[in-house]
Amino acid sequence: MRNMKDEICEFINYLHNVKKASHNTEISYERDLKKMANYLESQGVTAIEQVNATNLNSYMLYLEREQLSPATVSRSVAAIRAFFQFETQNGRVKPDPSIGLTPPKVERKIPEILSVQEVDLLMRQPDEKTPKGIRDKAMLELLYATGIRVSELIHLKVTEINLQMGYIACHEGSKDRVVPFGSAARKALERYVKESRSVMLGARESEYLFVNCSGTPMSRQGFWKILKNYAKAAGITADITPHTLRHSFAAHLLQNGADLKSVQEMLGHSDISTTQMYLNVGVYKIRDVYNRAHPRK
């Protein structure tokens, strides 16, 4: 009998070394699979060979009772399917007990989009008389200029940015892409590199472009707090997250005539239908205003 948690560790190693999955995928899959393993162990199922379709359906019901969101349950289903497909291909289970699992329907929410005026207000908030403010301005400008994910922003290395040509190289799992940026981001980045970064590093060295006040790499939580504070200072009432700037980047490009394929490549979307939702943002906002305001809606 093969211990399930040992099998999960081997699968995560496979994702990392063979599939070259993104760091976020590895973390979320490992978390979801260990949660499944803990549940199955509580039901007396500890070996991978013991798992059957009934066990997995029971786990799905358990997740529903936990009142998890459809998106969270769907992610768990994806992790479980990938895991048991790996186990089946390696001859450890037969037949695949996850074949019948179906994820719940996930309603695609309209992404929160800032107006161009709100973006401009946000960019004015950092105090550019301080090293921290200069760094924050550079991070905000680059995030909006490129639409990269916050994980890509904080893991961006000095060697992956070309200030002279105006582009960054992103490496997400096995996918590489080059994203250009404009003069506003270039100006902010040049100032950060020349005036601020060495001050924040002190005597330390770092391969990462953005560092915090103690000279260590910026964290997701650290950047999230920075963004929240600047949004509040700018009077932005939307529940802004780092992904809001990514959404705004895509919507503003498409609204100003950019072609869908190019935006898809810059965002790193594997499926163009994911990018297409930004085409409808304006329509949805108009419909929302209509539904709230029209007396005979």
Residue pLDDT, tens place only, 52-61: 999 999 999 9
DSSP secondary structure string for all residues of 48-94: GGG--HHHHHHHHHHHHHTT--HHHHHHHHHHHHHHHHHHHHTTSSS
Q: What is the pLDDT of residue 274?
A: 61
Taking residues 224-245, report their average pLDDT.
89
Q: What is the mean pLDDT of the chain?
A: 85
Q: What is the pLDDT of residue 110?
A: 63
Q: Which residues contact 267 (CB under 8 A, 6 or more apart)?
A: 147, 246, 250, 274, 275
Tokens representing residue 81 in the block: 């399917």
User: Is the model's pLDDT at 63 over the cut of 60?
Assistant: yes
Residue pLDDT, tens place only, 149-174: 888 899 999 999 999 999 988 876 55
User: Is the model's pLDDT at 252 over the cut of 80?
Assistant: yes
Taking residues 120-133, report their average pLDDT.
94
Q: What is the pLDDT of residue 216?
A: 86
Q: What is the pLDDT of residue 116?
A: 87
Q: What is the pLDDT of residue 186?
A: 95
User: Is the model's pLDDT at 46 over the cut of 70?
Assistant: yes
Q: What is the pLDDT of residue 294?
A: 42
Per-residue pLDDT band for 82 (boundaries 50, 70, 90) equals: very high
Q: What are the C-alpha distances in Å from 223 to residues 104, 144, 169, 175?
A: 32, 14, 20, 24
Length of the chain: 297
Question: Burial, 187: exposed, middle or buried (Cβ in 10 Å; 0-12, 13-18, 19+)?
Answer: middle
Q: What is the pLDDT of residue 140?
A: 95
Task: At 178, give phi and psi (nearest 5°).
Answer: -115, 130
Taking residues 18-23, report their average pLDDT.
83
Neighbour count for residue 9 (Cβ, 10 Å)? 14
Query: 53: closest CA among 98, 87, 112?
Result: 98
Taking residues 178-184, report their average pLDDT.
89
AA identity, residue 156: L
Per-residue pLDDT band for 64 (boundaries 50, 70, 90) equals: confident
Q: How many Å apart are CA 264 and CA 109, to the nearest integer?
A: 19
Taking residues 264-273, report their average pLDDT.
69
Sheet holding 161-162: strands in order across? 161-162, 167-172, 175-180
Q: What is the pLDDT of residue 241?
A: 84
In SS3 terms, 179-237 reads as: EECCHHHHHHHHHHHHHHHHHHHCCCCCCECCECCCCCECCHHHHHHHHHHHHHHCCCC
**Bridge-based pairing state of the strands 175-180 and 161-162:** unpaired
- Quick one: DSSP state of residue 128? T
Q: What is the pLDDT of residue 86?
A: 93
Q: How many Å apart are CA 66 and CA 157, to the nearest integer?
A: 40
Q: What is the pLDDT of residue 265?
A: 75
Q: What is the pLDDT of residue 25?
A: 85
